[in-house]
Structure 1
Amino acid sequence: MKKNIFCILLVLVVNLLIVSCTRKVSEDVPKVDSTVIAVDTVTIENNSSINTSEDISTIKDINNNIYHTIKIGNQTWMLENLSVTSYRNGDQIPNIENDSLWGEATQGAYCNYNNVLSNGKHFGRLYNALAAMDIRYLAPVGWHIPTVDEWECLKNYLAQNGYGSGQGEKRLHETSVNNSAIHTVGAYIETTKSEEIAKSLASKYEWKSSSSIIHNSDIIADLSKNNTSGFTALPSGYRFGKADFGECKFVGINNCTRWWALKDNGSLVYTVFMDSNNSYLNINAARNDEKNNLGYAIRCIKDE
């Protein structure tokens, strides 16, 4: 009998030791928070018209740059300008900093605004037309540089769905004559609210005025009312070619943005642009004498 009691007590002591050791181990192991926090490389502006749980996702390019995406109408766009430094097949894109070499380039090239790396990372790289048209492709698989028609589709969707900011006032406006962009200084056109959709595309930050004259529908007027579409266009500026001033130089950061658009299976390039003291998304054909010397940003769209 005594022997049985001793065995029972021994078993109880052993169990107590096991429980104590287990508790000690659990206390020594750091607790892991089960909540996963995703840290973005850029700040996405809050907008009540965007369902972030459904409309925004991310994608990587060949250089592992991360882009957020958003669906506007039936189109899916990247939320950032392209930052890739290699073509889709892995070939390096030359980074040309020297102005003379940039103006004489006979192959695809990119640069950072003012040759400052942080500008390229924040605003996206600037590419010449030869890079935009290269059949090795800049965009990641499943994506492409938008065509003129796809930009027009975006314009029409915003105009037809209440994203216009204009007041129907008389405004200076950019026009296109003989496939060349000219400034119609002193000429006025009547506009309608639906046509002035640049504010709905422009981000709520970075934009600065380039003129003392500001209209209510301008991008620069009350930045808090910008970006109702969620497109988040930054004023990335661009690089002029020799055909414009006889020299290459960087212009327009914080005041404007310029993107490339393609037409006719990539054999022609167009300029898509917005300016801080205007309210339009403009599309013009790039002149043959300037297109290879210009450095523009690229905003990609998803293949259908």
Structure 2
Amino acid sequence: MEFKLVKIGNQIWMADNLDVDTYRNGDPIPEVTDTDEWDRLTTGAWCYYNNDPEMGKLYGKLYNWYALVDPRGLAPEGFRIAGDNDWKLLLQTVGGHLTAGAILKSTELWKAPNDGATNEAGFNAKPGGLCDDDCSFMDRGSIGYWWTPAEESKKLAWSYIMEYDNAHVNRSYYEKKDGLSVRCLKA
């Protein structure tokens, strides 16, 4: 499988959200569309936004945090999941978290005004929204969320978010059961 890549500073990132349905070792990652089942999970799973495969073509898959840290490896061979330090370096490279969103966000698929978005860095950040812990879908078109493996607590993990109405990239935490986008870098 080939992936579109972009070099930003000394990092080589995937230029799209992750869209795989097997772990690195070939084991399948379950697609879960049932809200009760999604809420009970403490193992890896993915879904499409609104459980619609057409959304996957635009935004990639939404993964729960458990898929991210599964020892079988969510990142394809030769890649690794973007961690907290990777995101911090990316933001530093493109001028800091207050303006990085403009340089990193795609010029398509975001609600207006998509403040300052140029995608100058080629990162192609898209607003894939999220699937929350009870599998309710929200924020497609207005917010992009990307997991990191970093834990905040037993139930929460860190992610990075970009919004349609500003150029910021913020760090926040979400329930590990939530479905968020994932970005990888060359290992």
TM-score for the superposition, normalised by structure 1? 0.57
Which amino acid is the alignment partner of residue 72 of structure 2?
R
Please say if 1:91 is aligned against 2:27. Answer: yes
The equivalent residue for 1:197 is: 100
2:129 alignment partner, SS class: strand
Q: 1:239 aligns with which of 131, 151, 163?
A: 131
- Alpha-carbon separation, structure 1, partners of 2:166 and 2:39: 29
Matched positions, count: 184
Please say if 1:136 is aligned against 2:72. Answer: yes
The equivalent residue for 2:138 is: 251
The equivalent residue for 2:159 is: 271
- Alpha-carbon separation, structure 2, partners of 1:255 and 1:203: 12
What is the Cα deviation at residue 120 of structure 1? 1.2
Question: 1:177-228 CA deviation, whole Å, 9 max, x = no partner?
Answer: xxxxxxxxxxxxxxxxx8321011001111004xxxx6xxxxx136xx5211
Q: Confirm or deny: 8 A CA contact 2:130 2:138 kept in the other structure.
A: yes
1:253 alignment partner, SS class: coil
Pick the structure with more helix per residue.
1
TM-score for the superposition, normalised by structure 2? 0.92
- Alpha-carbon separation, structure 2, partners of 1:151 and 1:80: 15
Which amino acid is the alignment partner of residue 150 of structure 2?
K
2:139 alignment partner, SS class: strand
Alignment of 1:98-177 (within 5 A): 98-159=34-95
What is the Cα deviation at residue 112 of structure 1? 0.5
1:259 alignment partner, SS class: strand
Please say if 1:229 is aligned against 2:121. Answer: yes
2:144 alignment partner, SS class: strand
Which stretches of structure 1, 4 residues or more, deviate above 2 A after TM superposition?
A: none
Question: 1:98-120 CA deviation, whole Å, 9 max, x = no partner?
Answer: 11111111211000000001111
- Alpha-carbon separation, structure 1, partners of 2:50 and 2:150: 29
What is the Cα deviation at residue 302 of structure 1? 1.0
1:195 alignment partner, SS class: coil
- RMSD of Structure 2 on Structure 1 (CA): 1.9
- Alpha-carbon separation, structure 2, partners of 1:130 and 1:196: 31
- Alpha-carbon separation, structure 2, partners of 1:143 and 1:270: 20
Q: Which structure is larger by alpha-carbon Rg, 1 or 2?
A: 1
Gap runs ≥5 in structure 1: 1-59, 61-65, 161-193, 215-219, 242-246
- Alpha-carbon separation, structure 2, partners of 1:121 and 1:254: 14
Alignment of 1:285-296 (within 5 A): 285-286=173-174, 290-291=175-176, 293-296=177-180
The equivalent residue for 1:19 is: none
